[in-house]
């Protein structure tokens, strides 16, 4: 955390140097001493400090300055830093003006020039002022601040990205806190740039306007480019399956890179509480699981590129070559595909337009807190929807789960159904499907088709979270890797047609259990045809596949 600032302003450079020297020798250990030879420049400095979220403890200004005198400067400065102590430096002739400034312009003190010896004529009075300031001083948040609005899709995307990548940040909703004086001061310091939301302010004083996740990723040091262009093992997708493969591969000595499009943790990272993962009797959040796995993988030397997307693939002899979204390439001998599944889109008028502005796919962990006191709709009847409903119920006034069927029993685990039944503010709306969503710039209402009555009911809604199943996105594999009709990747025995090995297979062995129709390319987790869609099974497959990779690499 940066030290609080003592700022002095004097157009006479000798006096400025002298006051800075005296302040520094007495207070330098605890405060940062800054100086300026003009009031205008000092105001600019204060605006920059405000954007960096730095604290200012004292403003000390000479009364006689051209363009703007000391009292005027202190009054302007008060708009930016109202809590800073304000003092004037005056000549004897200006004493009367200084006394009236104390009353009229809320100046805390005035010092007569020269102030020698400072031990008698400067420090005791400043000690008093600074003690007083410290009594109400609360250290400021020393990290990234994000300014935006709740109903902006861009702000949502950015916040979701930061939380899923476990980057701490302070969120300032400029609409909700429009009457908050500190927010007003911050927006004033930003000036016209305040309209380029979302704005990200970094502790080093830099800022990004209309910020995109990739820009912020670069700025906070998330790694998106590989250190070298060849690895023994490359893993595409950093969910539980990919992370497990990374930990096992690297711990067994393979040079390993893992490329993840959004944030390590995958779907599991969005889970508010995973209760069925072995070894965690009271459950753990997906974010916690992801954080632990990332640390473990990094400890074994896995290089994690995130956010970075793989967009293409080709082979050259024994090399499998990945094309990344930034145009760069990575080659490897063994390739693991663990790209999981992505949410299925809900096909109803208005959904795409209001996505991120009240309509969300998935858990929307960042949104849960914002739903305090509101009515929240959750669409879907599987475990993911149940977990989300339980999480929202902690904050929202009421949560309504919309399901097409007549109950949850065929789609949701019994432990979750029991928890939902016991939760006072969760209700279930059966035979219900979303027919349309309404709202100008944010979700306002939902039209629900009730299949039992064949009627449409229109209800008010601020947020709707959709969990209606998921499909793999494997188009980037082109025609190379065999998939089923839904895009899930075929491996091992599933590749055989009428007892024959896959077309083009040239080795004198069968494909390994988790190997695709291309030797050395493996698929694990949810993206694999026939996989059990669970964290533990993904982790199991990711770890087991590494054994086959060793066997494969021994012959390359």
Ligand X SMILES: Cc1cc2nc3c(=O)[nH]c(=O)nc-3n(C[C@H](O)[C@H](O)[C@H](O)COP(=O)(O)OP(=O)(O)OC[C@H]3O[C@@H](n4cnc5c(N)ncnc54)[C@H](O)[C@@H]3O)c2cc1C
Residues that bind ligand X (CB under 6 A): 236-242, 259-262, 266-268, 270-271, 274-276, 309-310, 338-341, 363, 383-384, 387, 473, 476, 525-527, 533-536, 538
With b for 16 or more beta-carbon neighbours within 10 A and e for fewer, the 68-98 pattern comes to bbbbbbbbebbebbeebbbbbbbeeebeebb
Please tell me the chain's helix, strand, coil percentages from 3-state DSSP, rounded to the nearest 5.
Answer: 35, 25, 40
Q: Which is nearer to ligand X, 19 or 268 (CB)?
A: 268
Of 122 and 390, which CB lies nearer to ligand X in the complex structure?
390
CB-nearer residue toward ligand X: 29 or 295: 295
Write down the H helix ranges in 267-413. Answer: 286-299, 351-354, 365-368, 383-393
SS3 at position 112 = strand
- Residue 374, Cβ density class (10 Å: 0-12 exposed, 13-18 middle, ≥19 buried): middle
CB of 376 to ligand X, least distance (A): 15
| Residue at token pair 């054994």 | 547
Q: Give 350 or 386: the residue with its C-beta nearer to ligand X.
A: 386
Q: How far is the CB of 212 from ligand X (least distance, A)?
A: 17
Of 130 and 523, the one with the shorter C-beta distance to ligand X is 523
Task: Specify the residue for token string 């820009």.
Answer: 215
Nearer to ligand X, 200 or 274 (CB): 274
Shortest separation between residue 242's beta carbon and ligand X, angstroms: 5
CB of 541 to ligand X, least distance (A): 8
Angle between helices 286-299 and 153-164 (to 10 degrees): 50
Biggest CA–CA distance in the chain, Å, is 106
Report the residue number whose CB is nearest to ligand X: 340
Preceding omega of 117 cis (within 30 degrees of 0)? yes
3-state secondary structure of 509: coil
Helix (H/G/I), strand (E/B), else coil: 412: coil
Least Å from the CB of residue 244 to ligand X: 8
- Residue of 211, 151, 144 whose CA lies nearest to 175: 151
Residues 299-313, buried b or exposed e (16+ Cβ, 10 A)? ebebbbbbbbbbeeb
- C-beta of 519 vs 525, nearer to ligand X: 525
CB of 85 to ligand X, least distance (A): 51
Q: Which residue's CB is nearer to ligand X, number 112 or number 513? A: 513
Order of strands across the sheet that contains 375-379: 359-361, 463-466, 375-379, 398-402, 426-429
Residue 160 tokens, joined? 């979701």
Query: How far apart, in whole angstroms, are the C-alpha atoms of residue 151 and residue 305?
Result: 30
From the CB of 532, what's the least distance to ligand X, in Å? 8
Nearest to 49 by CA among 4, 108, 105: 4
Neighbours of 181 (CB within 10 A): 10
In angstroms, give the least distance from the CB of 488 to ligand X.
Answer: 11
In angstroms, give the least distance from the CB of 316 to ligand X: 20
Residues 219 and 307: beta-carbon distance below 8 Å: no
Q: Which is nearer to ligand X, 33 or 289 (CB)?
A: 289
Q: Which is nearer to ligand X, 331 or 387 (CB)?
A: 387
Contact residues for 352 (Cβ-Cβ < 8 A; gap 6+):
345
- Shortest gap between Cβ of 463 and ligand X (angstroms)? 16
**For residue 434, which phi and psi values (nearest 5 degrees)?**
-75, 120
Closest approach, Cβ 69 to ligand X, in A, equals: 59
Cβ at position 379, least distance to ligand X in Å = 13
Q: For 58, phi and psi rounded to 5 degrees?
A: -145, 140
45 or 245, CB closer to ligand X?
Answer: 245
Nearer of residues 196 and 473 to ligand X, judged by Cβ: 473
- CB-wise, 256 or 271, nearer to ligand X? 271
Measure Cα distances from 41 to 38, 56, 60 in Å.
5, 16, 14
Residue 236 beta carbon to ligand X: minimum distance, rounded to whole angstroms: 5
End-to-end CA distance of the chain: 53
**CB 8 → ligand X: shortest distance, Å?**
52
> Cα separation of 402 and 380, whole Å?
6
Of 275 and 374, CB closest to ligand X: 275
């Amino acid at each position: 955390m940066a030290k609080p600032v003592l700022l002095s302003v004097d157009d006479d450079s000798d006096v400025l140097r002298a006051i800075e020297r005296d302040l520094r020798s007495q207070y330098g250990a605890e405060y940062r001493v800054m100086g300026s030879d003009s009031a205008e420049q000092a105001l600019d400095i204060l605006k920059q400090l405000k954007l960096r979220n730095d604290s200012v403890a004292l403003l000390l200004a000479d009364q006689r300055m051209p363009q703007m005198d000391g009292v005027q400067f202190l009054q302007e400065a008060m708009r930016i830093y109202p809590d800073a102590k304000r003092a004037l430096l005056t000549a004897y002739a200006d004493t009367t003006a200084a006394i009236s400034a104390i009353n009229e312009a809320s100046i805390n003190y005035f010092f007569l020039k020269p102030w020698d010896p400072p031990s008698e004529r400067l420090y005791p009075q400043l000690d008093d002022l600074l003690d007083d300031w410290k009594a109400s001083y609360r250290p400021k948040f020393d990290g990234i601040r994000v300014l935006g609005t709740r109903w902006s899709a861009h702000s949502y995307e950015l916040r979701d990205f930061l939380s899923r990548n476990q980057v701490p940040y302070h969120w300032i909703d400029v609409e909700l806190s429009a009457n908050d004086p500190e927010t007003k001061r911050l927006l004033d310091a930003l000036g016209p740039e305040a309209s380029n939301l979302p704005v990200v302010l970094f502790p080093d004083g830099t800022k990004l306007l209309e910020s995109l996740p990739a820009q912020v990723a670069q700025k906070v040091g998330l790694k998106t480019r590989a250190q070298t262009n060849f690895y023994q093992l490359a893993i595409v997708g950093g969910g539980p399956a990919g992370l497990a493969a990374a930990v096992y591969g690297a711990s067994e000595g393979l040079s390993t890179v893992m490329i993840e499009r959004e944030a390590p943790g995958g779907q599991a990272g969005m889970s508010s509480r995973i209760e069925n993962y072995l070894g965690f009797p009271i459950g753990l959040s997906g974010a916690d699981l992801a954080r632990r796995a990332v640390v473990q993988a990094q400890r074994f030397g896995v290089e994690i590129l995130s956010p970075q997307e793989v967009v293409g693939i080709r082979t050259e002899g024994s090399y499998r070559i990945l094309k990344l979204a930034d145009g760069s390439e990575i080659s490897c001998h063994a390739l693991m595909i663990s790209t999981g599944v992505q949410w299925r889109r809900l096909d109803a008028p208005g959904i795409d337009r209001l996505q991120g502005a009240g309509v969300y796919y998935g858990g929307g962990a960042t949104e849960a807190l914002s739903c305090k006191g509101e009515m929240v709709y959750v669409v879907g009847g599987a475990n993911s929807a149940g977990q989300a409903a339980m999480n929202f119920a902690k904050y929202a006034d009421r949560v309504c789960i919309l399901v097409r069927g007549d109950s949850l029993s065929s789609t949701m685990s019994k432990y979750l159904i029991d928890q939902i039944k016991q939760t006072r503010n969760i209700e279930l709306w059966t035979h219900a499907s979303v027919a349309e969503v309404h709202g100008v710039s944010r979700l306002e209402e939902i039209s629900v088709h009730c299949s039992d009555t064949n009627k449409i009911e229109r209800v008010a809604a601020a947020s709707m979270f959709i969990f209606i199943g998921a499909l793999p996105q494997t188009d980037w594999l082109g025609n190379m890797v065999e998939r089923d009709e839904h895009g899930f990747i075929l491996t091992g025995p599933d590749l055989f047609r009428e007892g024959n090995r896959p077309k083009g297979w040239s080795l004198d062995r069968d494909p390994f259990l988790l190997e695709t129709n291309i030797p050395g390319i493996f698929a694990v987790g949810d993206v694999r045809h026939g996989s059990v869609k669970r964290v533990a099974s993904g982790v199991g497959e990711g770890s087991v596949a590494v054994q086959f990779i060793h066997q494969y690499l021994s012959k390359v």
